[in-house]
Amino acid sequence: MALVEVRDLVQRFELDRGLLGGLRFEGGRLTRRLRVVSAVDGVSFHIERGEIFSLVGESGCGKSTVARTVIKLLEPKGGSVFFDGIDITRHTRRQMLPLRRRVQMIFQDPYASLNPRLSVMETLTEPMIFHRVAATPEEAEARAMALLERVGIRPEQAGRYPHQFSGGQRQRIGIARALAVEPELIVADEPVSALDVSIQAQILNLLMDLREEFGFSCLFIAHDLSVVRHISDRVAIMYLGRIAEMGDKRQIFSSPRHPYTEALFSAVPQLSGGRILNAPPLEGEVPSAIDPPSGCRFRTRCPRALPLCGESLPAAREVEPGHTVFCHRVE
Amino acid sequence: MRTMNETGVERSVGRQGELLLEVRDLRTYFHTFKGVVRAVDGVSFDVRRGEVLAVVGESGGGKSVTGFSVIRLIDDPGRIEGGQILFCGRDLMTLSESEMNRLRGSEIAMIFQDPMTSLNPVYTVGQQLEECFRLHTRMGRAERRRACVEQLRAVGIPNPEARLNNYPHQFSGGMRQRVVIAIALAADPKLIIADEPTTALDVTIQAQILRLMVRLVREQGRSLILVTHDLAVVAESADRVNVMYCGKIVESGDTRAIIDRSAHPYTDGLIRSIPSLEVDRRRLDTIPGIVPNMFELPEGCYFAPRCPRARDLCRVREPEPVEIAPGHAVSCHFPLEKSSSQREEVR
C-alpha cells in the first residue's frame, strides 16, 4: 500500500470575501460575482514508501498548494487524501495531531522557518519532547547531537542561534529538525532554490544520503527541472492546477510526451549550450487561474491544439506502464 | 598577437571586434563599521562591440558591484577607489556627475533583476518609455508616441497601443521585464548591463527574455554585460565569461573554453555541482565549505581553503592571471589540465 494516496484533489481560493465582496458595475447594473482562484483542479497521485516523488512546474501551477493541502495545512475543497490507508480528508486539527509527527516539512527559506529565539539544540529537542519521541530531555539532547553531526553541524555549534549560521547551514538545521521526530513523509517545498549552486549540491547530496539511511518518503516541490531529475524517483509535471504528465523519472526525462513537458524541457538552459537561442519558443504566458481555459488548460499555448482540446478535459492515457499523459493528441 | 601587460591583464591586439569598454584594475570598496569590504578588487576586462560578456559567480563574488561600478552607480558606504573605465576611449572616472548622467541611459543602459522595483508604479509604462525619448532624442510629441509603440512591439508586447496606458502592476513579471528592456534600449545605447535579468522569471519566460535580449544586442551591434549566477544561462547566451570569486576575476575566456576546459578549480567545482537535465549522476560533486567572510579573507589565494588542489604556496602567495591559451586567462598556481575524456562524465 502506498504511503500517500491522493484522488481528484481540488483546492480553490475565494478572492471576494464578505457580504460586499465581488460587487461591481457591469453594463450600468450592480452585479455580484465571486471570483474564485482554481488553484488545484482534480489532481491524483500516490507516493510509495521510501520514494522521492516530485511535483514540478512554473510559478502558479499549484504545486505548493497541492503539498499544503495534502498535509492539511489547507482544507481540501474536493477529492480525498489517504495517509497510510487512513482517509484524512475530513480530519480535524485534533485528529491530525498524532499524524503530525509522521509528516514533517522543509521550507524554502530556512531563516524564516527557524525560530530566531531558540538555539539549534532547543529547535531540535522541542518537537522530540512534544511528540514523545524522546522520554527525557537528556535523551532528546543526545539524539539531537547525533542528528546535528549527521547533517554536518559541529557539536560546539549546538548552542548557537539561527542568525549565526549561513543559509546552507540553516537548511541543514531545517533538515535535522524535520528528521528529529522520525517522520515517514517529508514535504520539501523548494528546499534548495534559495541557495548558491555549490551549497545546493551539498544539500541535495545530504537529502539523498539521509533518504537511504532513514528510509522516509519525500514529496519534493521544485521549479528547477535539473534538480528534480537528479533527486526524484517519480515526477509529475503540473500546469495551471492540473497534472500534465506523470511517471518514472527516466520515462519523463528521456521520452516526454506532453507538449508542455517538451516545451518546458527545451527552455531549460544547459551547460552544453545551444538550446535556448535555437529551440522554437513556447509563446505567451500561463493564463490566470481565476478564469482558466476550458478543456485542456494548456491549449491556449499549445502548438498542437485541436478544437477538441477546448471542449473536453483530456483523460489520463497510460502510454507505458506507470507513465501517464493528459493530452488529447497522445494515443 | 596577444601580450600580457605588467599587471597581467590580457591586451587584445589582433582580435575581431573593436573595443568598446576597457576596465583596468577597478577597485570598489565598501567602508562599513565592521571594516572594509573589498567587493571588487583589481578587476580588469574588455568588452568588444557586438559581444555578450557574462560575469558569473556566487553571491558575494562582486559580480553585481562590477556591473554597477561601470556606470558609477555606487552609493555610500561604497566607493570606487581606483582604476580606469575606458568607454569608447573616454575615462568615465574623470567625468563629472552631470556628464555621467547624460551617458547613463543614452550610451550605457542598465537592466535590473526585479522589474517591479525598477519601474515607477505611479506612472504608466508609456510615460516612462516616452521620458527616455524625451531626454535622449530630439523627437516631437507625435513621433515619440510612434516610437513608444514601435519599441513595445519590438520587445514582443501584444497590443502595444493600448498597453502604453497601463501601469506596471497591470503587467506580468515577464511582460514587465520586456518593458524594462524596451526602456533600456529606447535611446539606442552602445552597452547594456543586465544584472540577473532572468533570475526572477519562470524557465519558459526566461528563455523568451534571453532570446529577446541576445537578438536585440546582436542585430544592432550593441554589447551586453550579463551578470548572473547561472552558468547554464551563460553557456546558452554569452560569447565570453569572467568568473568572479571574492571580488576577483579567477578565470576568463571564451564561453566554450571556460565550460569545456575550465582551468580554475573554482570554475570546475561550480560546473560539477550543477545537476544536468541530460546525464544521470549518482552524486553531485560539491565545493566543500562556504564562501569566506569578506572581512577576514584568507592569505594567498582566496579559494585555497575550499580548494582540493591547494598546496602551501596557495596559502601564502596570491596567484596572478596567466594566459594558458589564447584569450583564456586563469589566476591559479596549479591550474587543471584534464583530458577531455575525463570531463565527458560530467557533461
- Are B279 and A254 spatial neighbours (Cβ–Cβ below 8 Å)? no
E strands, B154-291, in order = 191-195, 223-228, 240-245, 248-254
Amino acid making up residue B75: D
Q: Which domain holds residue B102?
A: 3-107+189-344
Structural domain includes residue B323: yes
How far is A211 from A50, CA to CA, in rounded Å? 7
Nearest CA of chain B to the CA of A24: how many Å? Answer: 19
Amino acid making up residue B38: R
Structural domain includes residue B326: yes
Order of strands, sheet of B108-111, starting from the edge strand that comes earlier in the sequence: B108-111, B191-195, B223-228, B52-56, B240-245, B248-254, B328-330, B322-325
Hey, how many other C-beta atoms are within 10 angstroms of the C-beta on A116?
9
With b meaning 16 or more CB within 10 Å and e meaning fewer, what string describes B291-304?
bbebeeeeebbbbb
The crossing angle, in degrees rounded to 10, of helices B173-186 and B125-136 is 10
Among B203, B237, B255, beta carbon nearest to A264: B203
- Before B77, cis peptide (omega within 30)? yes
Cell of A291: 478564469
Hey, how many other C-beta atoms are within 10 angstroms of the C-beta on A158?
20
Nearest CA of chain B to the CA of A259: how many Å? Answer: 13
pTM of the model: 0.87
- Are B9 and B24 spatial neighbours (Cβ–Cβ below 8 Å)? yes
Cell of B341: 575524456
Structural domain includes residue B74: yes
For A166, which residue in chain B has the nearest alpha carbon?
A: B290
> What residues of chain A lie within 8 A of the CB of B210, using their CB?
269, 276-277
Q: Give the position of cell 492539511.
A: A72
Give the C-alpha distances (Å, rounded to integers) separating A133 from A100, A101, A102, A126, A172.
Answer: 12, 9, 11, 10, 21
> What residues of chain B lie within 8 A of the CB of A168, using their CB?
290
B207–A208 CB contact, under 8 Å: no
The crossing angle, in degrees rounded to 10, of helices B173-186 and B203-219 is 10
pLDDT digits (tens), chain B, 347 positions: 344 443 333 433 334 578 999 999 999 999 999 899 999 999 999 999 999 999 999 888 899 999 999 999 999 899 999 999 999 999 999 999 999 999 998 999 999 888 778 899 999 999 999 999 998 888 999 999 999 999 999 898 888 999 999 999 998 888 899 999 999 999 889 999 999 999 888 888 899 889 989 988 888 889 999 999 999 999 999 999 999 999 999 999 999 999 999 999 999 999 999 988 887 777 888 888 888 888 889 999 999 999 999 999 999 999 999 999 999 999 999 999 864 444 444 44
A268–B203 CB contact, under 8 Å: yes
Q: List the one residue out of B98, B38, B48 whose CA is nearest residue B69.
A: B38
A271–B207 CB contact, under 8 Å: no
User: Which residues contact residue A48 at a Cβ distance below 8 angstroms, ignoring those fewer than 6 apart?
Assistant: A2, A3, A217, A233
The crossing angle, in degrees rounded to 10, of helices A137-151 and A167-179 is 130
Cell of B252: 576568463
Cell of A25: 458595475
Nearest CA of chain A to the CA of B104: how many Å? Answer: 29
How far is B191 from B184, CA to CA, in rounded Å? 10
Structural domain includes residue B171: no
How far is B292 from B298, CA to CA, in rounded Å? 8
- Are A188 and A220 spatial neighbours (Cβ–Cβ below 8 Å)? yes
For A281, which residue in chain B has the nearest alpha carbon?
A: B208
Beta bridge partners of B194: B111, B226
Mutate: best of A270, A283, A290, partner B, most B CBs <10 A: A270
Q: Can you tell me whether residue A37 is helix, strand or coil? A: strand
**Residue A275 has what pLDDT?**
84
How far is A47 from B92, CA to CA, in rounded Å? 60
Q: How many domains does chain B have?
A: 1
- What length does chain B have? 347
Q: Which helix (H) or strand (E) holds A31?
A: strand A29-32
Please give the backbone phi and psi of residue A140, each rounded to the nearest 5 degrees, phi first.
-60, -45
Mutate: best of A61, A193, A197, A210, partner B, most B CBs <10 A: A197
Cell of B29: 570598496
Q: What is the dihedral of CA B78, B80, B81, B85, to 10 degrees?
A: 170
**Residue B292 has what pLDDT?**
86
Structural domain includes residue B140: no
Angle at CA of residue A79, ends A75 and A85, nearest 5°: 90
How far is A258 from A270, CA to CA, in rounded Å? 21
How far is A161 from B201, CA to CA, in rounded Å? 33
Q: Give the position of cell 583564456.
A: B328
- Are B151 and B186 spatial neighbours (Cβ–Cβ below 8 Å)? yes
**Residue B338 has what pLDDT?**
62
Cell of A81: 487524501
pLDDT (tens digit, 9 = 90+) per residue, A182-199? 999 999 999 998 888 888
Structural domain includes residue B91: yes
Cβ of residue A137 closer than 8 Å to a chain B Cβ: no
Average pLDDT of adjacent 10-residue blocks, chain A of 331 residues:
95 80 74 84 96 93 94 95 96 93 91 92 95 93 94 92 91 95 95 89 93 95 93 96 96 95 92 84 84 93 93 94 95 79
Hey, how many other C-beta atoms are within 10 angstroms of the C-beta on B232?
23
How far is A223 from A12, CA to CA, in rounded Å? 22
Structural domain includes residue B138: no
The CATH number given to whatever domain includes residue B79 is 3.40.50.300
For B214, which residue in chain A has the nearest alpha carbon?
A: A277
Nearest CA of chain A to the CA of B294: how many Å? Answer: 14
Q: List the one residue out of B63, B43, B53 whose CA is nearest residue B248.
A: B43
How far is A142 from B21, CA to CA, in rounded Å? 60
How far is A230 from A72, CA to CA, in rounded Å? 28
Q: List the one residue out of A123, A182, A112, A126 whose CA is nearest residue A153.
A: A123
Cβ of residue A205 closer than 8 Å to a chain B Cβ: yes
Amino acid making up residue B55: V
Q: List the one residue out of A51, A48, A42 whose CA is nearest residue A7.
A: A42
Cβ of residue A194 closer than 8 Å to a chain B Cβ: no
**Residue B16 has what pLDDT?**
52
Q: Identify the structural domains of chain A with CATH numbers, from first to last.
A: 1-19+32-51+60-96+234-331 (3.40.50.300)
Nearest CA of chain A to the CA of B116: how many Å? Answer: 17
For A276, which residue in chain B has the nearest alpha carbon?
A: B207
How far is A30 from A8, CA to CA, in rounded Å? 36
- Are B69 and B85 spatial neighbours (Cβ–Cβ below 8 Å)? yes
Hey, how many other C-beta atoms are within 10 angstroms of the C-beta on A224?
17
Q: Can you tell me whether residue A277 is helix, strand or coil? A: coil
Structural domain includes residue B274: yes
- So what's the ipTM on this one? 0.85
